[in-house]
């Protein structure tokens, strides 16, 4: 599935601003702007890529491309009950929900982020890496579930952090699901209450200290002395003069080696809290320079960490004597405060009395964007203002997501804050030596943390509630509004005199024009003094940014008397009907008397009215769906679509504001599905009702020219209005089944598309039988995981009933074709029992004429047939002896791939019967790189078809045995096709990819996959149209992306910078003979290169030798070239001389015959487009794994060196060593050990 739609022109990649610092650190004290630096590229930093995500369910999702130009293929787990998933794509965001997980997702026991595939890729939870989870149990001592690795205990929330190996995901999910309810379960097994993704957490980034009144506190003798502030961040530069004597203890909870700050964020925060200002003569002094610091490094050197790491740091900090924990970090997860980190804040605050001061986040200016853990009730959540106390545009806003509670709580300066710069880091904008300037709620938070430390020094008996309340009630209101700044900007000069504090309250959200009753809340005033205090009360209520609303706010009393150390509640009533203008309102209740001033804040939101939009959904048989995936999409915005729940009667209800919307989605029941779209839902001033009536839907039915069975399909609908720059695409992908699309009206504007992508294969088992009524070719569907055979078998059919033990005892199935009816028992259980009884093959008769997909793990061949056909065979068996002829093939000999796409209104018919002449015939040869005797291995991949008119497309996974060929018949009209393939079963292996190409109907061509000589290099002409695997220079930076393995002709390549299990790789870059840096792979960015022309050398090494790979086991490559500054935004390909190999006589098992002549040619290629001539080219060969070498006599013609090899008998393999030079001064030296086997 591809991006929905896009308007305008967007840059394909922003590489230089999307780097993940992980390479060489600059020398201590030096600016990283001064020296060349090698850093590892993030996956998202490259224009095109391929990623595999293993979901918690064990299903696999493959995403090719990047940004909004992504295609999605879904490969269900072999034990998946339905093999179906709903896919929702909005821009670069991709969500894939397998149907068996939907009940658990809807019931709230599974974190939605577990299925946000785009985010999983961005966070690095893809491509064979473990899936990190937080598993909450009913008891705190519970261990992590079976088939997962326990990382750490999280006692504050009765949870464990666990990691699931992708290879174990299927077993983990099977153990996690409730056994009683199976696929329909809404709860988890073994006391597990909820499973969250252990998501990434990132930082939420001379005048600000005086701005909050810190000098007044210092003058009064309070600088935080005697207090401890724990900072959970990126670590600390303990050598910085401002902090060298402030650090009491440092702990590392990240995946980095130690607590040293190699990012810069943590040092900046620490300096704002407690920096001495020594390096600036006191100019950049922190808020509480007398406080001691506890450093918990929870964010790694790359600036990110995991939620479980943060939770562990929080637990340590709260139990280590800190009065205040400062957290300038968060996850972009909008929450109602029930997520793991928010829960931990509340629990630890209650248990220890520690105050957690937490950044609100940097996802403003939209409302409801305060993230976790700042959403916690007990957190003192900090917004950011500028030096004029105006709210920063980036500062996250309230109210809190879900329950509309007040957040944030307070504000502080967070724009252009200058503080200490960690040695060797480049965060922010450099200021004076040793300092940097940065903006964010990350910068605002330490101001409040330092202020809290000063109050903790002044009042050592105060707990978290006192500190939080005093800072809020003494804050200076700035007119920004309660949902933007909370109680106001922190005012330490007033706070040090505070003896009374009050709670805040949200008065709710109300629709414009709706009549509402006055609402009353209680705010509580607390007296921390040891004497009774009487205060006068007054109130004011105003439209934020507007005038006061007279009479809207009333108080239950005009004064309050607070007992010594006690509290009293005051009723506050607001009449929403007097707040008529749309917007947010803030009320302030001020208490004064006996030299004390304190205030409480209330807030209210007046929003547009909402109207009910009801939707009744029906399947083609008129019944309600058993499952549904629906979304509502606002056609006026580019915001993500919102999920719409459906009840058991098939009814969905939404309350929507006036505007234009699309409702789109999928209905499912058994093996049938209905995909539909309501292109334009116009909400004005009344309720609406619609019906998605599957009885009117058209079945997707493609008749292939040759006999086939369906492998899978994807149906999708997309919508984008004229107002939008990106649209939404909803797809349903899965195995065989009856897919329907509901006809629709045309869209009022913008674009509306619909597409069906289908995949078929030759039947692994074909069956024919002679019945009294005539010869019958049965409609077979192979049972995945069952046995395969090659050739023809004639078997006597026997009626085995439902395959029960009793029926098998009564009917001998040994050596026969067992006919088994589908009953209430699991097909897997029944089929396994029949196979164990000795059946030679099994035919499973469905209970309907729908397509039945089943799975089994057995060597016995099995297939299913529709009920009508099965009943005829059973009836014949009841009358006498029946012989069924089975024809099998070990691997599909051919496949059909089709795309049927429409623009505009969804049509009323989706039946097609393309002729063979409409297909292109692509002969695919899948060579095997596996060692002899490795057993049956196969490549699992998908042909990705993309319609050139709509831009929509998808792929369906299929399996092909390695060492075989297959004819792929691709429907050619208006479609481009590309293929992505994996060595199946080895998730750590990178995918191999071919370029998207158009084919002419009736054309014939060949593609060779995994063919020797596999070597390091860049794809050849036409194989990489995006240029994503072509190293280049831009300005004074190099982006180096060199695949570890390309096929001999360099037309298919292993994409990505990640190693497979067991790989040993290295990258080194030299300039004029001096090493600039190294990295694990040739997947790097190199910045700050000198402008002048210089001689560079790139070296790469790779070793791979395991149970699924035994060719090109070791290779070494060195490229020498010249490079200089490139002006403007131009990109200049690096002039790396490439070598393309062709060795004749290589069999599909990657071997050549000993004693025979095998011509070999090496074509040297200039990928940068220059016409530099080859000046020298040599080829050497080794028949003893590189111990000895001899030069191959060869001739050179037009850049190609050709010779002949003859491997002596007894040789195990052929190794090659080549050298080439061109007239531009570029050269290549490449050694490939065991390039092919010798047989």
C-alpha 655/C-alpha 777 separation (Å) is 53
**pLDDT band per the 50, 70, 90 thresholds, residue 383:** very high
The candidate with the shortest Cα–Cα distance to 179, out of 170, 169, 189, is 189
**pLDDT band per the 50, 70, 90 thresholds, residue 370:** very high
Structure confidence at residue 22 (pLDDT): 27
Q: Mean pLDDT across the stretch 1044-1072?
A: 85
Give residue-wise pLDDT tens across range 481-531. 999 999 999 999 999 999 999 999 999 988 887 788 999 999 999 999 999
Work out the number of other CB atoms within 10 angstroms of the CB of residue 689: 10
End-to-end Cα separation, the chain, in angstroms? 43
Beta pairing class for 964-971 and 975-983: unpaired
Structure confidence at residue 431 (pLDDT): 85
Active site residue 165: no
Give residue-wise pLDDT tens across range 3-29. 333 232 222 211 111 122 222 222 222
Q: List, as one string, the DSSP characters of 457-495.
A: HH-TT--HHHHHHHHHHTPBP-SS-HHHHTT-B--HHHH
**pLDDT band per the 50, 70, 90 thresholds, residue 1226:** very high
Q: Which structure tokens are listed for 1194?
A: 């060869």
Structure confidence at residue 1052 (pLDDT): 85
**pLDDT band per the 50, 70, 90 thresholds, residue 1148:** very high
Residues facing 900 on adjacent strands: 756
Distances 196 to 137, 229, 280, 347, 363 between C-alpha atoms, Å: 12, 29, 45, 18, 22
Q: Which structure tokens are listed for 983?
A: 């060595």
| CATH number of the 611-753 domain | 2.60.40.1120
C-alpha 694/C-alpha 617 separation (Å) is 7
> Where in the chain are all domains bearing CATH 2.60.40.1120?
611-753
Q: Is CATH 3.40.50.200 the classification given to domain 202-473?
A: yes
Determine which helix (DSSP H) or strand (DSSP E) holds 272, and give its type and residue range.
Answer: helix 265-274
Residue 180 has pLDDT above 70, yes or no: no
Task: Spell out the SS3 assignment of 959-994.
Answer: EEECCEEEEEEEECCCEEEEEEEEECCCCCCCCEEC
C-alpha 62/C-alpha 47 separation (Å) is 16
Listed range (198-212, 436-450, 729-743, 751-765) with the worst mean pLDDT: 198-212
Structure confidence at residue 27 (pLDDT): 23
CA 1043 to chain centre: 23
Structure confidence at residue 1042 (pLDDT): 93
Structure confidence at residue 565 (pLDDT): 93
Q: Mean pLDDT across the stretch 100-121?
A: 92
Q: Averaging pLDDT over each range in 69-73, 426-430, 712-716, which range is the top one?
A: 712-716
Under 8 Å between Cβ of 33 and 426 = yes
Q: Mean pLDDT across the stretch 247-276?
A: 96
Residues facing 591 on adjacent strands: 537, 598
CA 760 to chain centre: 29
Structure confidence at residue 188 (pLDDT): 85
Domain 913-1008 fold: Immunoglobulin-like (2.60.40)
Under 8 Å between Cβ of 1133 and 1031 = yes
Residue 609 has pLDDT above 50, yes or no: yes
Length of the chain, in residues: 1239
Q: Mean pLDDT across the stretch 246-251?
A: 96
The candidate with the shortest Cα–Cα distance to 656, out of 629, 632, 689, 680, is 632
Residue 1079 has pLDDT above 60, yes or no: yes
Domain 499-511+513-607 fold: Immunoglobulin-like (2.60.40)
> Where in the chain are all domains bearing CATH 2.60.40.10?
499-511+513-607
C-alpha 412/C-alpha 927 separation (Å) is 63
Q: Which structure tokens are listed for 391?
A: 């709210």
Residue in the structure block whose two tokens are 């030759």: 762
Q: Mean pLDDT across the stretch 710-739?
A: 89
**pLDDT band per the 50, 70, 90 thresholds, residue 38:** low
> How much of the chain, in percent, has pLDDT values that exceed 70?
93
Determine which helix (DSSP H) or strand (DSSP E) holds 1157, and give its type and residue range.
Answer: strand 1157-1165
Q: Which residues of 532-559 are buried (b: 16+ CB within 10 A; e: fewer)?
A: ebebebebbbbbbeeeebeebbebeeee
C-alpha 1238/C-alpha 766 separation (Å) is 37
Give residue-wise pLDDT tens across range 821-845. 999 888 889 999 999 999 999 999 9
Residue 46 has pLDDT above 80, yes or no: no
Give residue-wise pLDDT tens across range 126-169. 888 899 999 998 877 778 899 999 999 999 999 999 999 988 99
Structure confidence at residue 209 (pLDDT): 87
| CATH number of the 765-888 domain | 3.50.30.30
Q: Radius of gyration of the chain from Cα atoms?
A: 34
Q: Mean pLDDT across the stretch 909-937?
A: 88
Q: Mean pLDDT across the stretch 549-577?
A: 96
Q: Which structure tokens are listed for 46?
A: 């490259």
> Where in the chain are all domains bearing CATH 2.60.40.1930?
1032-1065+1097-1238
Q: Which structure tokens are listed for 902?
A: 């429409």
Structure confidence at residue 736 (pLDDT): 83
Residue 759 has pLDDT above 60, yes or no: yes
Which residues lie below 8 Å from residue 451, measured CB to CB, with a gap of 6+? 212, 214, 217, 287, 288, 412, 471, 490, 492, 495
C-alpha 737/C-alpha 159 separation (Å) is 40
C-alpha 402/C-alpha 335 separation (Å) is 7
Q: Look up the CATH architecture of domain 1032-1065+1097-1238.
A: Sandwich (2.60)
Structure confidence at residue 31 (pLDDT): 32
Listed range (390-394, 490-494, 552-556, 849-853) with the worst mean pLDDT: 849-853
C-alpha 832/C-alpha 454 separation (Å) is 71
Structure confidence at residue 80 (pLDDT): 67
Structure confidence at residue 1083 (pLDDT): 87
Active site residue 1015: no
Phi, psi angles (nearest 5°) of residue 916: -60, -30
Which residues lie below 8 Å from residue 923, measured CB to CB, with a gap of 6+? 965, 966, 967, 968, 1004, 1005, 1006, 1007
Structure confidence at residue 1178 (pLDDT): 98
Beta pairing class for 228-233 and 292-297: parallel
Annotated catalytic residue, options 442, 506, 901, 1227:
442
Residue 907 has pLDDT above 50, yes or no: yes
Annotated catalytic residue, options 51, 240, 263, 265:
265
Residue in the structure block whose two tokens are 């302030």: 588
Q: Mean pLDDT across the stretch 257-271?
A: 96
Annotated catalytic residue, options 233, 409, 680, 1229:
233
**pLDDT band per the 50, 70, 90 thresholds, residue 620:** very high
Give residue-wise pLDDT tens across range 940-965. 778 889 999 988 888 888 878 889 99
Structure confidence at residue 408 (pLDDT): 96
Structure confidence at residue 69 (pLDDT): 66
C-alpha 355/C-alpha 204 separation (Å) is 19
Q: Mean pLDDT across the stretch 309-335?
A: 95
Under 8 Å between Cβ of 97 and 977 = no
Listed range (331-335, 521-525, 685-689, 856-860) with the worst mean pLDDT: 331-335
| Average model confidence (pLDDT) across the chain | 90
Under 8 Å between Cβ of 317 and 344 = no
Q: Mean pLDDT across the stretch 998-1026?
A: 91
Structure confidence at residue 1049 (pLDDT): 86
C-alpha 1204/C-alpha 642 separation (Å) is 64
Residue 1069 has pLDDT above 70, yes or no: yes
Q: pTM score, two decimals?
A: 0.82
> Where in the chain are all domains bearing CATH 3.50.30.30?
765-888
Under 8 Å between Cβ of 560 and 620 = no
- What is the 3-state composition of the chain as percent helix, strand, coil, each rounded to the nearest 5? 15, 45, 45
Active site residue 258: no
């Amino acid at each position: 599935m591809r991006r929905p739609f896009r308007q305008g022109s967007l840059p394909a990649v922003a590489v230089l601003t999307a780097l993940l610092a992980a390479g060489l650190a600059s020398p201590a004290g030096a600016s990283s702007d001064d020296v060349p630096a090698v850093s590892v590229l993030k996956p998202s930093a490259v224009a095109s890529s391929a990623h595999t995500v293993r979901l918690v369910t064990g299903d696999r999702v493959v995403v090719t491309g990047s940004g909004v130009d992504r295609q999605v293929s879904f490969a269900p787990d072999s034990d998946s009950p339905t093999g179906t998933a709903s896919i929702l794509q909005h821009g670069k965001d991709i969500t894939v929900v397998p149907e068996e997980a939907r009940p658990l997702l809807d019931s709230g026991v599974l974190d939605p982020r577990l299925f946000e595939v785009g985010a999983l890729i961005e966070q690095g939870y893809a491509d064979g890496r473990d899936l990190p989870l937080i598993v909450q149990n009913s008891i705190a001592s519970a261990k992590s579930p079976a088939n997962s690795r326990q990382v750490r205990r999280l006692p504050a929330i009765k949870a464990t952090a666990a990691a699931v190996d992708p290879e174990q995901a299927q077993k983990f999910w099977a153990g996690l699901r409730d056994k009683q309810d199976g696929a329909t379960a809404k709860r988890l097994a073994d006391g597990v209450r909820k499973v969250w993704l252990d998501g990434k957490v990132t930082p939420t980034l001379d005048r600000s200290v005086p701005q909050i009144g810190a000098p007044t506190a210092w003058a009064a003798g309070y600088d935080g002395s005697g207090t401890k502030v724990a900072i959970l961040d990126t670590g600390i530069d303990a050598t910085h003069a401002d902090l060298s004597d402030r650090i009491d203890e440092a702990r590392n909870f990240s995946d980095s080696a130690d607590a040293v700050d190699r990012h810069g964020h943590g040092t900046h925060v620490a300096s704002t809290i407690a920096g001495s200002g020594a390096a600036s003569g006191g100019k950049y002094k922190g808020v509480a320079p007398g406080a001691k610091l506890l450093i918990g490094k929870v964010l790694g050197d790359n600036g990110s960490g995991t939620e479980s790491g943060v939770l562990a740091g929080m637990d340590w900090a709260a139990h280590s004597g800190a009065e205040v924990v400062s957290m300038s970090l968060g996850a972009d997860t909008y929450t109602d405060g029930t997520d793991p980190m928010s829960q931990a804040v509340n629990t630890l605050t209650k248990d220890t009395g520690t105050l957690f001061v937490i950044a609100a986040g940097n996802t403003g200016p939209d409302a409801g964007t305060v993230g976790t853990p700042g959403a916690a009730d007990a957190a003192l959540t900090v917004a950011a203002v500028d030096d004029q106390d105006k709210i920063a545009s980036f500062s996250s806003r309230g109210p809190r997501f879900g329950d509309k509670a007040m957040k944030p709580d307070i504000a502080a300066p967070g724009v252009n804050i200058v503080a200490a710069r960690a040695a060797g880091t480049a965060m922010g904008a450099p200021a004076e030596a040793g300092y940097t300037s940065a903006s964010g709620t990350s910068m605002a938070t330490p101001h409040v943390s330092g202020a809290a430390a000063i109050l903790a020094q002044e009042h050592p008996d105060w707990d978290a509630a006192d500190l939080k309340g005093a800072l809020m009630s003494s804050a200076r209101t700035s007119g920004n509004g309660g949902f933007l700044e909370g109680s106001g900007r922190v005012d330490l000069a007033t706070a040090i005199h505070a003896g009374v504090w009050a709670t805040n309250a949200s008065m709710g959200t109300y629709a414009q024009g709706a009549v509402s009753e006055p609402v009353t809340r209680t705010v509580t005033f607390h007296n921390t003094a040891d004497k009774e205090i009487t205060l006068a009360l007054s109130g004011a209520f105003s439209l934020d940014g507007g005038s006061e609303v007279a009479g809207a706010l009333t108080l239950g009393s005009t004064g309050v008397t607070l007992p010594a150390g006690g509290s009293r509640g005051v009723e506050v009533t607001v009449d929403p009907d007097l707040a008529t203008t749309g917007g947010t309102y803030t009320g302030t209740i001020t208490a004064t008397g006996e030299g004390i001033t304190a205030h409480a804040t209330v807030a209210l939101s007046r929003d547009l009215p909402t109207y009910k939009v009801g939707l009744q959904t029906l399947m083609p048989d008129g019944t309600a769906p058993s499952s549904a995936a629906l979304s509502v999409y606002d056609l006026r915005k580019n915001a993500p679509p919102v999920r719409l729940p459906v009840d058991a009667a098939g009814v969905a209800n939404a309350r929507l504001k006036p505007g234009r919307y699309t409702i789109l989605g999928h209905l499912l029941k058994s093996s049938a599905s209905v995909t539909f779209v309501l292109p334009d839902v116009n909400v004005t001033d009344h309720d609406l009702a619609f019906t998605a009536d599957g009885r009117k839907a058209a079945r997707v039915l493609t008749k292939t020219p040759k006999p086939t069975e369906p492998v899978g399909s994807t149906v999708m609908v997309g919508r984008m209005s004229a107002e939008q720059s990106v649209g939404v695409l909803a797809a349903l992908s899965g195995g065989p089944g009856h897919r329907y699309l509901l006809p629709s009206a045309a869209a009022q504007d913008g674009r509306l598309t619909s597409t069906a992508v289908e995949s078929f294969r030759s039947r692994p088992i074909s069956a024919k039988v002679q019945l009294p009524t005539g010869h019958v070719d049965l409609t077979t569907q192979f049972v995945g995981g069952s046995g395969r055979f090659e050739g023809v078998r004639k078997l006597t059919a026997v009626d085995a009933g439902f395959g029960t033990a009793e029926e098998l005892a009564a009917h001998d199935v040994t050596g026969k074709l067992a006919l088994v009816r589908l009953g209430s028992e699991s097909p897997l259980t029944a089929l396994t029992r029949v196979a164990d009884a000795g059946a030679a093959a099994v035919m499973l008769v469905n209970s309907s004429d729908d397509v039945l997909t089943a799975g089994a793990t057995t060597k016995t061949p099995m297939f299913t047939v529709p009920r009508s056909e099965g009943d005829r065979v059973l009836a014949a068996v009841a009358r006498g002896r029946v012989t069924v002829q089975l024809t099998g093939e070990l691997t599909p000999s051919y496949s059909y791939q089709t795309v049927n796409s429409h623009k505009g209104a969804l049509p009323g018919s989706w039946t097609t019967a393309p002729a063979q002449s409409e297909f292109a015939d692509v002969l695919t040869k899948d060579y095997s790189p596996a060692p002899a005797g490795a057993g049956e291995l196969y490549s699992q991949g998908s042909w990705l078809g993309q319609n050139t008119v709509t831009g929509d497309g998808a792929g369906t996974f299929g399996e092909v045995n390695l060492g075989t060929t297959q004819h792929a018949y691709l429907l050619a009209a208006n479609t481009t096709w590309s293929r992505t393939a994996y060595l199946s079963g080895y998730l750590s292996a990178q995918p191999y990819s071919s370029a998207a190409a158009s084919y002419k109907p009736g054309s014939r061509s060949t593609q060779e996959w995994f063919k020797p000589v596999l070597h390091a290099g860049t794809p050849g002409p036409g194989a990489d149209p995006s240029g994503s695997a072509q190293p280049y220079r831009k300005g004074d930076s190099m982006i180096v992306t060199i695949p570890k393995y390309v096929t001999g002709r360099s037309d298919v390549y292993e994409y990505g910078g990640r190693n497979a299990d067991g790989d040993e790789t290295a990258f080194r870059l030299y300039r004029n003979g001096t090493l600039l840096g190294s990295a694990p792979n040739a997947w790097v960015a190199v910045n700050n290169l000198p402008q002048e022309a210089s001689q560079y050398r790139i070296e790469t090494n790779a070793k791979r030798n395991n149970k699924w790979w035994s060719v090109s086991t070791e290779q070494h490559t060195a490229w020498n070239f010249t490079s200089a500054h490139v002006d403007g935004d131009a990109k200049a390909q690096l002039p790396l001389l490439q070598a393309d190999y062709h060795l004749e006589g290589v069999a599909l098992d990657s071997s050549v015959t000993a004693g025979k002549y095998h011509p070999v040619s090496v074509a040297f290629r200039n990928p940068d487009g220059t016409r530099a001539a080859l000046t020298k080219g040599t080829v050497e060969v080794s028949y003893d794994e590189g111990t000895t070498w001899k030069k191959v006599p060869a001739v050179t013609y037009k850049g190609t060196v050709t010779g002949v090899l003859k491997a002596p008998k007894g040789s195990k393999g052929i190794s090659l060593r080549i050298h080439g030079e061109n007239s531009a001064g570029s050269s290549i030296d490449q050694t490939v050990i065991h390039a092919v086997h010798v047989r």
